[in-house]
Amino acid sequence: MNQRDLDRTILSVLDESDRMFLATSVDQNPSGATVFFARDGFDLLFFTFRTTRKAEQIRYNPKVQAVVWPKGQEGIRGLQIEGECRPVTDPEEMEEAKRRILRVTSAFKDYMEDEFLLKNKVVGYFRLRPTVIKYVDFYAEPKFRWREFPENQPGPVREAFRSVWNRLRIWVRALRAPFFTATLVPVLLGAVIAHRDLAASGSAQFWNWSTFWWVLLGALLAHAGTNITNDYYDHTSRNDEWNTLFSPFNGGSRMIQAGLLPAWKVLLAGLLCFAATVAVGLRLNSMITGSPLGNSPLLWIGVTGVALGLFYTMSPVRIGYHGLGELAIFLGFGPVMVLGTHYVLLARYLRETGTNWPWLTPFLASVPVGILIMLVVWINQFQDAPADEKAGKRTWVVRLAARKNGVMLYEKPFRFYTVFLLSAFVLILVLGLVGSVYPELVSPYVLIALLPGYLAWKAVRWGKEWLHQWNQPGADRTRLPYELLRVNASTIGIHFLTGLLLVFAFLLGQ
């Protein structure tokens, strides 16, 4: 059989078939699924949701294998296809893919045309470009014939670069690095108050940039360890498996559920992050006291911070499962980080001058920051609440929500969200007024941190509109949770902007 005959045979098998078994894999996590396909030359087009495990794995490893058999000839005559899969993003190509797939099956037509799914980019079309097609016929001689497509094979340099880049992307997602702003704000705030205190005492020479970077590194490692171990232990409780309303803001990184990292590797990474955090903390404590375990405020602040992060969801403590998670978030990303940063950066000055640690200012400044980051988690728990309740995770949203005919009602949790949000800005107002009388205690410029109050007002208004929709009879509660995403995003923005303005205020106060 020459190549032309082989090509005709391969195309005839594809024309006689409408489904393929598609295998994907990332980091030794195999997945398989049967999908309908349409042919475009030797390329195969298929439809799936972008949130599925196979779509997630294709995003990080486009190498796939597919098996195709004509109907009724499974295991006798068919094709084994190796190739590269990519999402179809060009609008015209997407329309063409849709048209071709609908010729094969109309089973997914409603999903393909669903405005909600299109708006949220859940609908996905993919193209499989073969690199090798093996034709199998157990009643022929020879039984196997190969057709190679070198034009579809990526070069070794490109493949190596892509592999490294995708591995990096996986770990950035696992760390939930975009949420490191929750650490950046309190560390910067503690640092700028420390610099202000040194400058006010005429001792700016004690400022040390190297120490600042060590503090930031330790805090980021602690945050990363908290995120990663939270993913692992929410997996072991089946919380994330039950959570069907996940989004970029809630439901964890879903590395385990998407088959991007094995569970053991997630746990190991989290524990290594905490081990590195402890190492950085002991190094800093040794610089302060002369001994890694020397008695100092840093030692006890560090122990508290690591314990809050590690036991947030870790068995058997699971403080996040017993209504203490919100308090842990407030403390860990508020007073603990601000006070810890402030103390470390002042430690040498305090030791050499015998001055008492002026902890009151950083503590006062940390409280609104802690409240606002706690509210980020609080509002994200609205979408998580059904899965949290099923997994026995008794967050305060779960505890406060009413139930009616099996539906969670969120008026009371949202009232608390509003009260906490208002209290954060009232505290900032009070700090500004205190600063106008006692500028040596608090910078009067903290009043500029009231500016994100407008965004807070918008978030509350949007939340009330969402609650009204949620409570309507016949509301589509499988989709409405996603309409709350603008409140989720706004709450993150409120924390970040308010925190940066507080930092700027103390800079101006110098």
Question: φ and ψ at 355, to 5 degrees?
Answer: -85, 145
**Same structural domain for residues 21 and 124?**
yes
85 Cβ contact partners less than 8 Å away, ≥ 6 residues apart:
24, 58, 62, 63, 64, 126, 127, 128, 129
Helix then strand then coil, % of the chain, to nearest 5: 60, 15, 25
Is 80 exceeded by the pLDDT of residue 73?
A: no
In a domain? residue 285: yes
Whether 70 and 13 have beta carbons less than 8 Å apart is answered as yes
Per-residue burial over 145-158, b if 16 or more Cβ lie within 10 Å, else e, is bebebeebbeeeee
**Same structural domain for residues 140 and 188?**
no
The one-letter amino acid at 213: W
**Same structural domain for residues 397 and 354?**
yes
Taking the CA of residue 376 as centre, how many other CA atoms within 13 Å lie in the half-sphere pointing to its CB? 23
Per-residue burial over 289-303, b if 16 or more Cβ lie within 10 Å, else e, is beeeeeebbbbebbe
Is 90 exceeded by the pLDDT of residue 507?
A: yes
In a domain? residue 202: yes
In a domain? residue 290: yes
Whether 65 and 85 have beta carbons less than 8 Å apart is answered as no
In a domain? residue 158: no
CA dist., res. 26 & res. 62, Å (int): 9
**Same structural domain for residues 94 and 216?**
no
Residues in the chain: 510
Query: Is 91 buried (19+), middle (13-18) or exposed (0-12) by CB count in 10 A?
Result: exposed
**Same structural domain for residues 207 and 143?**
no
Question: φ and ψ at 77, to 5 degrees?
Answer: -135, 125
The encoded tokens of residue 167 equal 């591995």
Q: What is the DSSP string of 107-125?
A: TTHHHHT-HHHHHTT-EEE
CA dist., res. 507 & res. 26, Å (int): 47
Question: φ and ψ at 261, to 5 degrees?
Answer: -145, 140
Q: Is the dihedral of CA 382, 383, 389, 391 positive or negative?
A: negative
153's torsion region: left (phi>0), alpha (psi -120 to 50) or beta?
beta
Is 70 exceeded by the pLDDT of residue 422?
A: yes
In a domain? residue 16: yes
Whether 361 and 506 have beta carbons less than 8 Å apart is answered as no
**Same structural domain for residues 224 and 90?**
no
Helix spans in 360-450 (H):
360-391, 396-400, 411-437
**Same structural domain for residues 182 and 105?**
no
Whether 453 and 425 have beta carbons less than 8 Å apart is answered as yes
In a domain? residue 159: no
Residue-wise pLDDT tens digits, 258-308:
999 999 999 999 999 999 999 999 999 999 998 999 888 889 988 998 898
* Confidence band of 94 (pLDDT split at 50, 70, 90): very high
% residues pLDDT > 90 (the chain): 75
**Same structural domain for residues 118 and 224?**
no
Residue-wise pLDDT tens digits, 121-161:
899 999 999 999 999 988 888 889 999 999 999 889 999 99
Which of 95, 128, 153 terminates a domain? The answer is 153
- What is residue 286's predicted lDDT score, i.e. its pLDDT? 93
**Same structural domain for residues 143 and 242?**
no
Residue-wise pLDDT tens digits, 304-324:
988 988 888 888 888 889 989
CA dist., res. 491 & res. 205, Å (int): 38
Range of the domain at 37: 3-153
Q: Give the mean pLDDT of 50-68.
A: 95
**Same structural domain for residues 128 and 190?**
no
**For residue 392, how many other CB atoms are within 10 A of its CB?**
13
State the total domains in the chain. Answer: 2
**For residue 72, how many other CB atoms are within 10 A of its CB?**
7
**Same structural domain for residues 235 and 114?**
no
- What is residue 231's predicted lDDT score, i.e. its pLDDT? 93
Whether 47 and 112 have beta carbons less than 8 Å apart is answered as yes
The angle at the Cα of 171, spanning 168 to 176, to the nearest 5 degrees, equals: 125
- What is residue 477's predicted lDDT score, i.e. its pLDDT? 86
Is 70 exceeded by the pLDDT of residue 380?
A: yes
Bridge partner list, 35? 20
- What is residue 243's predicted lDDT score, i.e. its pLDDT? 85
Q: Give the mean pLDDT of 71-98.
A: 89
**Is the pTM value of this prediction over 0.85?**
yes
In a domain? residue 163: no
Question: φ and ψ at 35, to 5 degrees?
Answer: -135, 150
Whether 280 and 221 have beta carbons less than 8 Å apart is answered as yes
In CATH, what number is assigned to the domain containing residue 117? 2.30.110.10
Question: Quick one: which H or E segment has residue 94?
Answer: helix 91-104
Residue-wise pLDDT tens digits, 188-218:
999 999 999 999 999 999 999 999 999 999 9
Bridge partner list, 498? none
The encoded tokens of residue 50 equal 């972008």
Which of 120, 153, 186 terminates a domain? The answer is 153
**Same structural domain for residues 291 and 369?**
yes
- What is residue 2's predicted lDDT score, i.e. its pLDDT? 79
Tokens 């190679």: give the residue: 148
Which of 99, 120, 153 terminates a domain? The answer is 153
Mean pLDDT of the chain: 93
